[in-house]
Structure 1
Amino acid sequence: MDFEPSAKAKDYVARVRAFMREHIVPIENDYWAQVESAAQGGDWRTWKIPQTMEDLKAKARAQGLWNMFLPDDKLGAGLSIVDYAQVAEETGRSFMAPEVFNCSAPDTGNMEVLWRYGSDAQKEKWLKPLLAGEIRSVFCMTEPDVASSDATNMQATAIVEGDDIVLNGRKWWSSGVGDPRCKIAIFMAHTPDATRDRHEQHSMVLVPVDTSGVTIKRMLPVFGSHDAPHGHGEMQFENVRVPVANVLVGPGHGFPIAQGRLGPGRIHHCMRCIGASERMLELMIERGMKRVAFGQPLVNLGGNRERIANLRMAIDQARLLTLYAAWKMDKVGNRAAMTEISSIKVVAPNVMQKVADDAIQMFGGAGMSNDDTPLASFFATARLLRLADGPDEVHRDVIARIELRKHGANR
């Protein structure tokens, strides 16, 4: 196996790193201050995107640093999963960077779904403006009234009635729906069919967010923050009627599409976790070397050297495991890499959370303030990712089942 990035990937990584150093790092604190100021009214409906973001997106696109996640050399960068993983690590160092390069969730996953499974008409109407960065999107899967770790629990329904499909249900943690540019939702719901098995009972439907019957009820706070200007919304779908032509592939095909969507997305998330972890470790070491207590630099007190060593090892282990998963997906596909995909989904966010926790401890009070360091926000992100796209326990169960099957177990 070979995790060495191609020459093309190395060029992208170098240019992304230079762009971030020149254009993003100097203004990032000011950008989030602008976002926070615009959100002071408390009503998510008034959230605005600072012009700074659109200006940076235009610069990135002009430099060809655009849609790098998409393995299509006409619509994206045409990078392998291993190659894009190296880019994702760099962008993970910043909360702004993924959007600047049009490589942020949930749009990346939704664009991949449309690219892989969308009809020509669906691509023209929705993929094209998403790839251009003109609109944003949301993925509606998690529900408040059931254990969403088991997707077959879904209570939301998508029922075909003639030329239409009628949608009903509640969704929440619909990330990005508070963004004023969010125009299209992918809604996953139960489409009962007694002739099919349990994994052929769901559909994915394209729903413009301004469709009659779609209501955004509220934004859910994460550790007290509403994550402006994007948000995580609770949505109500009441007798929402859209054409059957809005269904991806066709009724009952939602589960295979979901698996196709989540595999590469988990690589992206995990490599961004590693990039964030690297940044936090750097900040932690700089703080520990500069700050003095009891006559010594903090780095020499309280076992901090050992903590730094342990974090270095953990980050490198997580990176190697993630690159191995990416390499295996490139070579043999998602299904054959299920153990590795589930493994990294557990490992990378847990490593990021540990790095954040240790870094906050080194910083003291400053580590708790979002106005002074990014550490608390990184911690919240890591904790969220231990639930998003399947909680740790589900992924551990997947790994265990695969291992047990090797020894003859039926489940």
Structure 2
Amino acid sequence: MNVRKAGPGRERQAVVYRDGVLGRRPAVPADFAGLERAARRSSSARAWAYVAGGAGEGRTMRNNRAAFDRWAIVPRMAHGVTERDLTTDVLGTPMPAPVLLAPVGAGALMGKDSDVKIARAAAATGTPYVFSNQGCNPMEECAAAMGGTPRWMQLYWSTDDSVVDSLINRAEAIGAGALVVTLDTTSLGWRPQDLNLGSLPFTQGVGIAQYTSDASFSRLVRERLGETAVGRTDVTLGALRSLLSITRNHPGGFLANLRSPVPRASVQTFLDTYSNPGLGWDHLATLRDRTRLPVVLKGILHPDDARRAFEMGVDGIVVSNHGGRQIDNSVASLDALVRIRDEVGPDPTVLLDSGIRTGADVFTAIALGADAVLLGRPYLYGLAIAGQRGVEEVIANVVAELDLTMALTGASSIAGVTRDFLAPQEPPHGIRTP
């Protein structure tokens, strides 16, 4: 057990205040609002629309935050707890704290070599990282950057089964600790911020590195080129910029790519095949024959789906509404977590994604039944502001606040963070809740 008397909270405070004496400030703001403002200043309009935007009117994103506001932490006094153990184990993956880095696609919008920088930050902090299926660096490069730090791999179910199997085989080869199958993106949600700009990063060749580095996908591209020529487009300044982006983001030399039809054909093949709108339970039932990895289903929100997943034999689920990016006015993930944990009982592995912003949020999620949480936008904001260092500081801040919250409430271990530390928060006067 990695039990430290000072704890990561006081250690982080000591580093920040010691640097403050020398006139140095942290690379990223310690509060989420400040982090978000700084990241927006550091991002292009297209990058911000994609990363920070949500579906429709943004109600699901607001629902996620409102769900946390409905619970208040109730600290206990004179508890005498001086040591805390934040370590945990999820599906055989040891964790210094119950936090993983969520898979976030098209991270290069926020910084070049995004996934490798995130992987290095994860390794520096010992934090498990779920590699994105829509990453901007091949999973093999990210695994090399992480050394022995645990990594999981996300999977979007392609319409081509050979690509599905190839991605799974590569996940096994890089030592992934689990396969995280995302269920809620069989089609892209209605995202007005992107639509108003006519911007989808994949059409620019951003976020498709797992595919352009994949042998089975490359075969599909060659077959496409053998059947038909790549369609012509109108010659506009925007088209030229898109061509240059596609060329830069494709493996190989820039000039060779510029002369080749393969990069454009890769983008078109990806758009045609990357996610299967017909994904069903019958597909998921084949996973036991496809992989030896623990299988985690991401995007579960209904208790019946959770129960069916565990009855099928999956190893874990992630309660998630995709950070509010898929359906407008969807149920908050935290609210769904409470219902699902009550339905499946204490034993199955249940993680939470969507809406996590602070260490106090992590505490609340664990108390309500999550075995661990997936952190998304905050670390990507850190990347936009200060690259690898920014990601490291965001992780350190979240874990530090979790530790201090435990210290001040009297929880000595993650297993000891229970609903006894929470109370339902009364809504503002005059507002009714269902």
TM-score for both structures, normalised by structure 2 = 0.25
TM-score for both structures, normalised by structure 1 = 0.25
Relative contact order (C-alpha < 8 Å, sep 6+): which is higher? 2
